[in-house]
């Protein structure tokens, strides 16, 4: 790890400021975890806080690598571990000696799990914890912390818990309450006057000064041995510092298999929560510094730090938002600031270790109560103002209630399950049918004679077109089937436009199979268009339909690449069944084309003499976009497709013209270059009438020329009417 000299000063001051913020909280967290075991264990908790700040501060930056991030013992660790201790004592039947080694193994397992998370690449996934779950959990941790500290704030014996402590007025210690109240007051108001010195440091100093001032009135407060109002000597429950660190490891051999089983779920829960807490801080840090952290590498660093902290007798921790922000605002620029913070914590322990013995327990409780208050997400109360977000508030409330009444472990599981249910509910509430139309509202791009259009309009009720959207899964299957069910008996052709579908599961495909069978009973077809080949999940939907047996060569299911192709296939079947399939054996003569029916033979002969007869093989370009030419083309045989070239060498299909239709009328009327490309879709025979030839013809046959222009206008008007119907259907 390389450090530039110009960064060193900023990293030093940032590390110093971060240490001053982190150390009081770490001591308080340690005391919170260990004090339920008895007053004699409180010094060991303070020592664990010191050691945790040192190990996490030095090693997490070295192995993690997120610049400016400060890792220290944190509130989630204190909440989970203290809940574990309290729960174990309530059920453990006096097996006090097993708690320290169990805590050690729990912290060690947490670090190993975090290293595993980073090694297998789960860092990116852990960041996506639903906000209501994270908010509810943090609020629950805050309330839990407040509830656990109120008895210590009041000075009641350790066996008295929150509700009982509130009514045990004779056992309240007014001296501790005064010290705690002064600490909380300074903690709250200090940031209004100065931010150069961390509020926690000022609050702790104020609490200690208040305690010693009260000691002038009551000499018993100035006695260290057996004094329940102060932390006590850091040797803790076992004498020397070394013995305090090593005693819990020597007791590991006495643990039973049942003892080890009870740490599995707390270790996993703690690993997830500490990882989320760290990565949330990293995301905020990225936004402020315009950087980008490596989440998986950071989890490995956090895991290494927690393993090391546990091995030397410290408590686990995570990236701490408050200390990190102080570190950054004090000039830190690199990872070195975190290392300096850890080293300075060790120096503070060596220099001030004896002074820590006089830290009032109520003062630490006051600091933690304020931290707990700040963890409560009051902004979520505005979710109650809207019906659309009230269920999200319900998730938050449920997580808080479970955290306070059952356990923090159960709260996290409850929140995730409820968040999943809310997501499923949201998906179910969305409409999967975006648009519905019938065959007499939406037509293919093939331009057909008037008599064929009349048949298609009359029989349009045989075709139902559904444009689908969103996720087709077990939650929306019933909604989709309800929408399709009304059409199954009266429709022969059911077209499903799949282009906006995001996902499909096996329940939805099974339902579509039932729809297919229902249509097949009366000779109907299930038709898919624009099936996505690559869903957001990476699944190939068409391949999936093949795998589940929905699309088979012998089944009444058709698949088309474009909606227009599907509609054109249906229209051709309807027309064929109506015995109006176009005869392609011989080219039409002029009097058989709709524009010239019931015209005089001699006039048609004169007009035909002005025309050219042209033939094109399938795929041949008749004219291209931008070409000059003013011919009006009449189709005697075959089909012509009009295509519009677009970017990337692709073409957009505008329309298809069949036998008896005309095209090229725009350039014929205005003389401008061709606006699209015409391609012979099959072997095609045409009449070509140039504007010059038509003008010469109109000199002698004015009435015929006027009739031709009128017929062109009527046909164009009819096309516009059909276009209007389709546009109206699209808009609705």
Domains with residue ranges and CATH for the chain: 7-421 (no CATH), 433-577 (3.30.750.24), 590-731 (2.60.120.10)
Which H or E run contains 643?
Answer: strand 640-645
Band of residue 730 on the pLDDT scale cut at 50, 70, 90: low
Summarize pLDDT for 2-39 with one digit per residue, the tens: 445 556 877 887 788 778 777 877 887 888 888 788 76
pLDDT at 581: 47
Q: To which H or E segment does residue 573 belong? A: helix 563-577
Q: Which helix (H) or strand (E) segment is 547 a member of?
A: helix 541-547
Q: Strand pairing partners for 447?
A: 657
Burial of residue 104 (number of CB atoms within 10 Å: 0-12, 13-18, 19+): buried
| 166: CB partners within 8 A, 6+ apart | 150
Annotate 31-72 with DSSP letters as a single string: HHHHGGG-GGGHHHHHHHHHHHHHHHHHHHHHHH--TT--EE
Q: How far apart are CA 226 and CA 96, in angstroms?
A: 20
Contact of 701 with 606, CB cutoff 8 Å: yes
pLDDT above 90 (res 165): no
Residue 333 has pLDDT above 70, yes or no: yes
- Flag whether pLDDT at 584 surpasses 60: no
At residue 554's C-alpha, the angle toward residues 551 and 558, to 5°, is 45
Q: What is the pLDDT of residue 398?
A: 87
End-to-end CA distance of the chain: 63
pLDDT higher than 90, residue 495: yes
Weakest-pLDDT range from 209-213, 293-297, 330-334: 330-334
Give me 120's structure tokens: 């297998």
Query: What is the structure's pLDDT at 126?
Result: 62
Lowest mean pLDDT across 148-152, 288-292, 509-513, 518-522: 288-292
Instruction: Give 443's contacts (C-beta < 8 A, 6+ positions apart).
Output: 453, 456, 567, 571, 722, 725, 726
Strand, helix or coil at 296?
A: helix
Gap between the Cα atoms of 509 and 516, Å rounded: 10
pLDDT tens, residue by residue, 509-556: 889 989 998 898 888 999 999 888 777 666 677 778 877 778 777 778
In this predicted structure, what is the pLDDT of residue 2?
A: 47
Query: Would the pLDDT of 236 be above 50?
Result: no
> Residue 67 and residue 282: Cα distance in Å, rounded?
9
Burial label for 124, CB within 10 Å (0-12, 13-18, 19+), is exposed
Distance (Å, rounded) from C-alpha 330 to C-alpha 13?
6
- Is the pLDDT at 686 greater than 90, yes or no? yes
Q: Is the pLDDT of residue 627 over 90?
A: yes
pLDDT class of 374 with cuts at 50, 70, 90: confident
In this prediction, residue 701 has a pLDDT band, given cuts at 50, 70 and 90, of confident
Mean pLDDT in residue range 341-362: 82
For residues 591-596, give the mean pLDDT: 82
pLDDT digits (tens, 9 = 90+) for 201-228: 788 888 889 989 988 888 778 877 777 7
Q: How far from the centroid of its chain's Cα atoms is residue 301's Cα?
A: 26
Beta bridge partners of 470: 501
Q: How confident is the model at residue 250 (pLDDT cuts 50, 70, 90)?
A: low
**Residue 39: predicted pLDDT:** 67
Arithmetic mean of pLDDT, 299-326 = 88
Instruction: Reply yes or no on whether the pLDDT at 629 is more than 70.
Output: yes
Predicted confidence at residue 239, as pLDDT, reads 43
Write down the pLDDT at residue 176.
84
How high is the pLDDT of residue 247? 59
How many of the other CB atoms lie within 10 Å of CB of 489? 11
- Concatenate the DSSP letters of all residues of 407-427 into one string: -HHHHHHHHHHHHHHHHHHHH
Token pair listed for 367: 């600091």
Composition of the chain by helix, strand, coil, percent to 5 = 65, 10, 25
pLDDT band at 352 (very low <50, low <70, confident <90, very high): confident
What is the tens place of the pLDDT at every residue in 442-481? 888 887 877 888 888 888 889 999 999 888 888 888 888 8
Give bridge partners of residue 612 from the DSSP assignment: 688
State yes or no: pLDDT of 240 exceeds 60. no
Bridging pattern class, strands 71-73 and 317-319: antiparallel
> How far apart (Å, rounded) are the C-alpha atoms in residues 356 and 345?
13
**Distance (Å, whole) CA 39 – CA 41:** 5
pLDDT digits (tens, 9 = 90+) for 630-680: 999 999 988 899 888 877 777 888 888 888 889 998 899 888 999 899 999
Decide: 490 and 520 in contact? Cβ < 8 Å. no
Query: How many C-beta neighbours within 10 Å does residue 470 have?
Result: 17
**What's the token pair of residue 335?**
């990872």
Please tell me whether residue 537 adopts helix, strand or coil conformation.
Answer: coil
In the predicted model, is pLDDT for residue 369 greater than 50?
Answer: yes
What is the DSSP secondary-structure string of 228-283?
A: TTB---TTGGGSSHHHHHHHHHHTGGG--HHHHHTTHHHHHHHHHHHHHHHHHHHH
Does 580 score more than 60 pLDDT?
no
Note whether 707 and 694 are within 8 A (CB): no
Rounded Cα gap, residues 380 and 122, in angstroms: 28
Alpha carbons 376 and 69: distance in angstroms, whole number: 23
Burial letters for 430-440: b for 16+ Cβ neighbours within 10 Å, e otherwise? eebbebebebb
Tell me the average pLDDT across 349-367.
79
Of the candidates 507, 120, 497, 75, the one whose C-alpha atom is nearest the C-alpha of residue 295 is 120
For residues 518 and 368, which has the higher predicted lDDT (pLDDT)?
518
Render pLDDT for 76-115 as a digit per residue (tens, 0 to 9).
888 888 888 888 887 755 567 778 888 888 999 999 999 9
Q: For the CA atoms of the chain, what is the radius of gyration?
A: 40
Q: What is the mean pLDDT of the chain?
A: 82
pLDDT of residue 1: 46
Output the pLDDT for position 159. Answer: 65
């Amino acid at each position: 790890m390389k450090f530039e000299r110009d960064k060193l000063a900023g990293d030093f001051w940032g590390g110093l400021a971060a240490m001053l913020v982190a150390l009081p909280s770490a001591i308080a967290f340690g005391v919170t975890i260990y004090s339920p075991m008895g007053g004699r264990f409180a010094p060991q908790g303070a020592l664990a806080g010191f050691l945790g700040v040192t190990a996490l501060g030095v090693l997490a930056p070295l192995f993690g690598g997120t610049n400016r991030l400060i890792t220290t013992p944190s509130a989630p660790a204190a909440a989970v571990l203290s809940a574990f201790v309290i729960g174990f004592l309530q059920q453990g039947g006096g097996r006090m000696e097993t708690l320290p080694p169990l805590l050690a193994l729990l912290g060690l397992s947490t670090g190993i799990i975090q290293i595993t998370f980073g090694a297998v690449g789960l860092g990116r996934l852990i960041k996506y914890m639903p906000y209501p779950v994270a908010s509810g959990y943090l609020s629950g941790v805050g309330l839990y912390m407040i509830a656990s500290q109120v008895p210590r704030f009041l000075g009641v014996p350790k066996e008295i818990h929150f509700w009982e402590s509130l009514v045990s007025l004779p056992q309240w210690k007014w001296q501790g309450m005064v010290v705690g109240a002064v600490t909380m007051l300074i903690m709250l108001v200090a940031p209004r006057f100065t931010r150069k010195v961390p509020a926690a440091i000022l609050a702790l100093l104020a609490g200690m000064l208040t305690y010693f001032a009260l000691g002038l009135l009551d000499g018993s407060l100035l006695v260290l041995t057996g004094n329940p109002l102060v932390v006590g000597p850091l040797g803790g429950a076992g004498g020397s510092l070394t013995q305090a660190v090593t005693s819990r490891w020597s007791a590991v051999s006495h643990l039973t298999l049942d003892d080890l089983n009870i740490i599995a779920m707390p270790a996993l829960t703690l690993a997830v929560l500490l990882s989320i807490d760290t990565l949330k801080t990293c995301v905020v840090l990225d936004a402020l510094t315009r950087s980008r952290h490596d989440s998986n590498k950071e989890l490995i660093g956090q895991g290494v730090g927690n393993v090391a902290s546990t091995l030397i007798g410290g408590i686990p921790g995570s990236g701490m938002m408050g200390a990190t922000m102080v570190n950054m605002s004090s000039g830190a620029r690199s990872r070195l600031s975190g290392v300096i913070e850890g080293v300075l914590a060790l120096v503070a322990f060596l220099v001030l270790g004896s002074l820590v013995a006089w830290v009032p327990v109520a003062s630490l409780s006051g600091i933690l109560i304020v931290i707990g208050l700040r963890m409560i997400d009051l902004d979520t109360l505005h979710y109650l103002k809207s019906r659309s977000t009230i269920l999200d508030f319900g998730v938050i409330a449920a997580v808080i209630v479970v955290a306070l009444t059952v356990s923090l472990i159960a709260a996290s599981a409850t929140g995730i399950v409820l968040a999943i249910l809310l997501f499923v509910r949201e998906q179910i509430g969305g409409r999967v049918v975006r648009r519905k139309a019938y065959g007499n509202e939406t037509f293919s791009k093939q331009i057909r004679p008037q008599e064929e259009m009349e048949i298609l309009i009359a029989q349009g009720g045989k075709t139902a077109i559904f444009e689908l959207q969103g996720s087709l899964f077990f939650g929306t299957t019933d909604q989709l089937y309800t929408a399709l069910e009304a059409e199954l008996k009266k429709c022969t052709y059911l077209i499903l436009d799949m282009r906006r579908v995001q996902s499909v599961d096996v329940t939805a495909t099974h339902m579509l199979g039932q729809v297919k069978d229902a249509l097949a009973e009366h000779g109907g077809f299930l038709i898919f268009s624009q099936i996505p080949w690559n869903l957001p999940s990476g699944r190939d939907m068409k391949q999936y339909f093949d795998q589940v047996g929905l699309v088979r060569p012998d089944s009444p299911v058709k698949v088309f690449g474009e909606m227009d192709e599907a509609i054109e296939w249906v229209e051709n079947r309807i027309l064929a069944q109506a015995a109006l399939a176009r005869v392609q054996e011989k080219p039409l003569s002029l009097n058989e084309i709709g524009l010239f029916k019931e015209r005089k033979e001699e006039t048609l002969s004169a007009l035909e003499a002005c025309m050219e007869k042209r033939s094109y093989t399938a795929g041949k370009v008749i004219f291209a976009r931008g070409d000059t030419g003013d011919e009006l083309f009449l189709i005697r045989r075959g089909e012509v497709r009009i295509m519009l070239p677009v970017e990337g060498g692709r073409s957009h299909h505008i329309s298809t013209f069949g036998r008896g239709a005309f095209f090229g009328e725009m350039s014929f009327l205005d003389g401008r270059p061709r606006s699209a490309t015409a391609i012979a879709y099959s072997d095609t025979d045409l009449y070509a009438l140039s504007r010059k030839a038509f003008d010469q013809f109109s000199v002698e046959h004015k009435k015929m020329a006027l009739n031709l222009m009128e017929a062109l206008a009527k046909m164009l008007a009819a096309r516009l009417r059909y276009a209007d119907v389709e546009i109206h259907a699209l808009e609705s």
